[in-house]
Chain A
Amino acid sequence: MSLHLSELRKHYGATRAVDGVSLELGERETLALLGPSGCGKSTLLRLAAGLEPPDAGRIVLDGEDITSLPPQRRRFGMVFQDYALFPHLNVERNVAFGLVELRWSRADQRARVAELLDLVGLSGLQDRRVHQLSGGQQQRVALARALAPRPEVLLLDEPLSNLDQSLREALKEELRNLLARLPVRAIYVTHDQSEAFAIAGRVAIMRDGRITQVGTREEVLERPRSAWSARFLGHRNLYDGPALAAVPGAPAAAEPVLLRADMVTLLAPAAPDTAIDAGAGAAEAGATIRRARRDGLRWQLELDVPAWSLELAWEGFARELREAPREGAALRVRVPTAAWVRLAER
């Protein structure tokens, strides 16, 4: 039982918004579609919803080809970025909109609306006009409305992007719990990796109309496929393979190589200048602080490692340093061999 998108394509003139995308969504699974703005992720979602016809490709739901089924017959719930709540209806009638199309009785509608408003924490607001609601409340109504007719698939298009930071954090948590609890499969489109990794079990990275990588949170974060994905996910230490010839433990590769800063530890300076701890599978070397910058509670350091002719960026809390970092100060880096990741492409 699953949703298959296979080889979907959508062009607008010369722009390839979706350029041959295949994805699979399993039962009760939440998949995040993560990519920068303009990468085609929203278009892909609209293809899935049936709001746009694909130029090529197939959409198969539980064995049935639904590629040409109009949206109203797909039973895919969708949460729109700007919520698209009906301004002429109150909260209850908004949530009940899909139930009316299913010819539910008025009493059943009322019960289902109450149940959903309870679920999203808006009990008792049935009679409010939607423009009387705060942004966060509107977002919840949009979610309740999409869930009410028990959709086959729930599609969420950047649902938190119109909210301010603190509200976004709170709703992210709520949404994660809700999606984990409900027996619904969901595709969650976002450009914010923290949302993607908080909410979804699996993440697909999208770039220029193509999926560059799909995997679990850990796979995607720790083993990005390309230098572009690595940079997009916030990795900063990327090197050309050949440039690492002098670094002990680094892979000999023609492709780009990533050094995971989260695995690098900082030590007190010591002799000799460079050493290999073969037993622990790590190498050490002397380094100097070229730049130190505070980013909130964390420190961001740029380090020079002359023995390896390497520059690397590190970030962490002050407690991981022995003293407040000064530019020009000496220390020692310890790089486990496992911190090196060979990337498949640029």
Chain B
Amino acid sequence: MRPSWISTAFGVTASAFLALFFLLPLIAILARSAGDGSALASVASNPYYWQRLGFTTGQALLSTALTVALGLPGALLFARFDFTGKRLLTAAFTIPFVMPTVVAGIGFLALFGPRGLTGIDLRGTLLLVLLAHVFYNYAIVVRVVGGFLEGAAPRLLEAASTLGAGAWRGTLRVSLPLARPALLAAATLVFLFCFTSFGVILILAPSPRLATLEVEIYQLTAHLLELGPAAVLVVAQLVVVGAITLLYTRMQARVAVALPARAQTLPRPRGAGRWLLIVNLVAAGVLILAPLVALAVQALQGANGTFPSLDNLLGAARASGVLGFATLGTALRNSLAFATASTVLALGIGFAFAYAVARGRWHALDQLSLLPLATSPVTLGFGYLLAFPLLVTHPWGIPIAHALIAFPFVARSLLPALRGLDPALAAAAATLGAGPGRILHRVELPQLGPALLTAASFAFAVSMGEFGATLLLVRPEYATLPVAIYNRLGRPGPQHYGAALALALVLMLVTGAVMMLLQRRGRSEF
């Protein structure tokens, strides 16, 4: 069918929004860094910044290697076997992926912080940062690689077994070579996330020795007000991250077309495979659940060790006027309001974009939807500060930034659903007298329910947990839960730590509830 005027209107709207709130800030940053010659020279000649680049790259590589080492066996086993509780576990593995960084950070503090449950204080060590990064990204490897293999590998492994290759030989000669593109794509994504790590570092390792570029940009902007050098660092980071994102989109495209998926029942694990599976799952389960459980336990612990106790929650609910902290109620209200606004915005723009790409003549924009992924939250916040100085006095900067951060997730959830719609249905509706608007309303939207729900819960969860951009754009009266948590963590004293725990527990529960909607409702192109 010919593209309708609606797809054109959608394409124009989405492009205009992206140009205004994504490209313009980036251009402002570029202009700032290019216009300030002395900043470039001072950054380039300062060995400290080179160290930061080296450290950022090094820790990201190390995190990626660790995550792959732990996640690959899991992915292979997941793709190979069916077992009781597999669906539940798959769902559990996505928890870290959507959990706010702040929650994970506090969770690890609750385990290995100065007041942690284990009594081992690892705060400020690289080890703790790496642990948190593995916690975050394990699921990416298992789901991307496992999901990729699950479609075709079992069948090919059967073929291999009739040709004399048993379980080990089949893994070596079929699964691993097949998984390579997916593994590279997953590793690239993990590297990307770790390279721009922000919240984890701020909370778990607040020392200049372990600062990533992202943290450095934030410090320069928010505390030192050195916008010139910050802009230079942003551009440097953009170059690295942009190159890696390009690499990722290339590989992701290969993953998307390579294997013919085919529904198949998988065997149950037997023998050695069964024990490997159990060990792997227990390790992963502990890694993922321990911080969250520790967080919940500590949050519900009273000052004198009583359990359960509401002391911390009540403490968080009380305003501490002197220090200007947001109360639990205010922070929760702000978070929910921003999340609602940004979900509506992200859904609108994401749907317009996906519709224009899938239905109109906007295919060229397809890979563009991943670009905001390449732009770290702090970069985005920084860009807004430069491009829209007026927005800073206004709360709208925050939901717009959140919507942009959620945009890739939304677009990537809706695109496959839209592409999966049978075009013959729209054609049939047209022959029955429906115009483009009516087709959208009566034929296409009703079929997209699950995908829209997935996209909405993604957007909501992203906004609830967003930290970097919010921290730069926020004013005290608009403090969200993550910001309120971070503010309290920054003060000494057990009562502030307790309040941070309580706020984190609330954030965890709200995000978890949103995630329940997300489970098993649709698939996205990641």
Residues of A within 8 A of B (CB): 49-51, 70-78, 80, 82, 84-89, 97-98, 100-102, 145-146, 149, 155
Tell whether, in the assembled complex, residue A78 and residue B174 are in contact, meaning their CB atoms are under 8 Å apart: no
Q: Does B86 sit at the interface, judged by CB under 8 A?
A: no
Q: Does B253 sit at the interface, judged by CB under 8 A?
A: no
Provided the pairs A51-B158, A82-B262, A97-B160 are in contact, do residues A88 and B178 lie with their beta carbons within 8 angstroms?
yes
Selected from B163, B166, B174, the residue in CB contact (under 8 A) with A70 is B166
CA distance A155 to B159 in the complex (A): 12
Tell whether, in the assembled complex, residue A102 and residue B164 are in contact, meaning their CB atoms are under 8 Å apart: yes
What are 28 of the A-B contact pairs (CB < 8 Å)?
A51-B162, A71-B162, A72-B162, A72-B163, A73-B164, A75-B164, A77-B162, A77-B163, A78-B162, A82-B262, A84-B155, A84-B158, A84-B159, A86-B174, A87-B259, A88-B177, A88-B178, A89-B177, A97-B160, A97-B173, A98-B163, A98-B165, A101-B163, A101-B164, A101-B165, A101-B169, A145-B163, A149-B163
Tell whether, in the assembled complex, residue B161 and residue A97 are in contact, meaning their CB atoms are under 8 Å apart: no
Q: Does B278 sit at the interface, judged by CB under 8 A?
A: no
Interface of B is mostly: helix
In chain B, what residue has the closest Cβ to A52?
Answer: B267
Q: Does B279 sit at the interface, judged by CB under 8 A?
A: no
Q: CB-CB < 8 A to A87: which residues of B? A: 152, 178, 258-259
**7 closest cross-chain pairs (CB), A and B:** A101-B164, A98-B163, A84-B159, A71-B161, A72-B166, A78-B162, A88-B177
Q: CB-CB < 8 A to B174: which residues of A? A: 86, 88
Q: CB-CB < 8 A to B259: which residues of A? A: 87
Provided the pairs A88-B177, A100-B173, A101-B169 are in contact, do residues A72 and B158 lie with their beta carbons within 8 angstroms?
no
Tell whether, in the assembled complex, residue A84 and residue B156 are in contact, meaning their CB atoms are under 8 Å apart: yes
Per-residue 0/1 for B290-331: is the Cβ within 8 Å of any A Cβ (1 yes, 0 no)? 000000000000000000000000000000000000000000
Closest CB of chain A to B145's CB: distance in Å? Answer: 14
Tell whether, in the assembled complex, residue B164 and residue A86 are in contact, meaning their CB atoms are under 8 Å apart: no
CA distance A51 to B165 in the complex (A): 12
Provided the pairs A86-B174, A88-B177, A97-B173 are in contact, do residues A80 and B159 lie with their beta carbons within 8 angstroms?
yes
- Interface size counted on chain B using CB atoms at 8 A: 22
Q: Does B260 sit at the interface, judged by CB under 8 A?
A: yes
Chain B CB within 10 Å — which of A87, A88, A145 has the most? A88
Provided the pairs A80-B159, A86-B156 are in contact, do residues A97 and B178 lie with their beta carbons within 8 angstroms?
no
In chain A, what residue has the closest Cβ to B174?
Answer: A86
Chain A CB within 10 Å — which of B156, B159, B166, B174 has the most? B159
4 extra interface residue pairs, beta carbon distance < 8 Å, beyond A49-B162, A98-B163, A98-B165? A72-B164, A88-B177, A89-B177, A97-B165
Provided the pairs A72-B169, A82-B155 are in contact, do residues A98 and B164 lie with their beta carbons within 8 angstroms?
yes
CB within 8 Å of A: which of B140-173?
A: 152, 155-156, 158-166, 169, 173
In chain A, what residue has the closest Cβ to B181?
Answer: A88
Q: CB-CB < 8 A to B158: which residues of A? A: 51, 71, 80, 84
Q: CB-CB < 8 A to A84: which residues of B? A: 155-156, 158-159
CA distance A70 to B168 in the complex (A): 13
CA distance A146 to B160 in the complex (A): 10
Q: CB-CB < 8 A to A149: which residues of B? A: 163-164
Chain A CB within 10 Å — which of B159, B162, B258 has the most? B162
Closest CB of chain B to A79's CB: distance in Å? Answer: 9
In chain A, what residue has the closest Cβ to B170?
Answer: A72
Q: CB-CB < 8 A to A102: which residues of B? A: 164
Q: CB-CB < 8 A to A71: which residues of B? A: 158, 161-162
Closest CB of chain B to A3's CB: distance in Å? Answer: 15
In chain A, what residue has the closest Cβ to B179?
Answer: A88
Q: CB-CB < 8 A to B262: which residues of A? A: 82
Q: CB-CB < 8 A to B178: which residues of A? A: 86-88
Chain A CB within 10 Å — which of B166, B180, B259, B262 has the most? B166
